[in-house]
Amino acid sequence: MADWSPTRYLQFTDERSRSFRDLIAHVAELPAFRDTAPSDVVDLGCGPGHLSGVLRSRWPEAAVTGVDSSPAMIARAREHDPGATYLEGDIGDYAAGRLEVTGADAVVSNAALQWVPEHRKLLPALRDTARRVFAFQVPGNHDAPSHLLLREVAAREPYASALGAPVARRATEDPLGYLDLLAGPGWTLDAWETTYTHLLQGPDPVLRWISATGAQPTLHALHDVDPALRERFEEEYGAALREAYPDRPYGTPLAFRRVFVVASRDPGAVADGR
């Protein structure tokens, strides 16, 4: 897939950032950090670095390291946020200890793990890199109209032949599924889900939203075959989205379900340095 576009991704910064703010607010109130702030934080899938300020506002003294596999995202983060350290690398490589950073008091991730192949298998290793807390959020909207329509339109001709394979459903677990995957001695777990209703503004806002994230691999693949084919697809897909997400006088509502998971080491395990 072609590289990500920080500019397109940041079109809906406030809406995309809300779940991360909610996650970090929850983490900051955990017993692990209520009295002693983390000395370092690793942000997996940090994107363009726009959320590092959220971490620093909570823990001003903590060293923040962002990890992302996108060269464009890392370049933008380094340019606009020199106060943090940014590493270009894969989350799987981080889990295997192949990056410069191997752990932190807090290891967090916002809407990134769903892009990692077989991310479920990596979760115990990712959890164990956290000295005190491992926390993440992933979208749980892969059966929402936006994604159902993406797969439906992409399955039509001429798009199906150009793509060569059906659009993958990037499934994530429900809260209970993640609890089953992360449960282990010395850990306390919490998991929940929230459906946000974002009010998007401007023309074709749902198309613009998903074109910067979930639809990007499909759009890039079609563009590589024929830019005109991508344009035709966007017109057809955009029309379907306008019907599924009708505009209202106050904006276009987009319901977006997200799943949150927090694993914190039990006090005895932290004291023992495990």
Tell me the CATH number at 28: 3.40.50.150
- Report pLDDT for 204: 95
Identify the domain containing residue 84 by its residue range. 6-271
Q: What is the DSSP letter of 12?
A: G
Q: Supply the pTM of this predicted model.
A: 0.91
- Report pLDDT for 169: 80
Count of the separate structural domains present in the chain: 1
Question: Which of 148, 161, 153 minimizes the C-alpha distance to 235?
Answer: 153
- Report pLDDT for 270: 58
Contacts of 96 (CB under 8 A, 6+ apart): 125
H helical segments located in 183-272: 205-211, 216-225, 227-244, 267-271
pLDDT digits (tens, 9 = 90+) for 168-180: 787 799 999 999 9
Residue 191 lies in a domain: yes
Residue 1 lies in a domain: no
Residue 256 lies in a domain: yes
Residue 178 parent element (H or E): helix 175-182
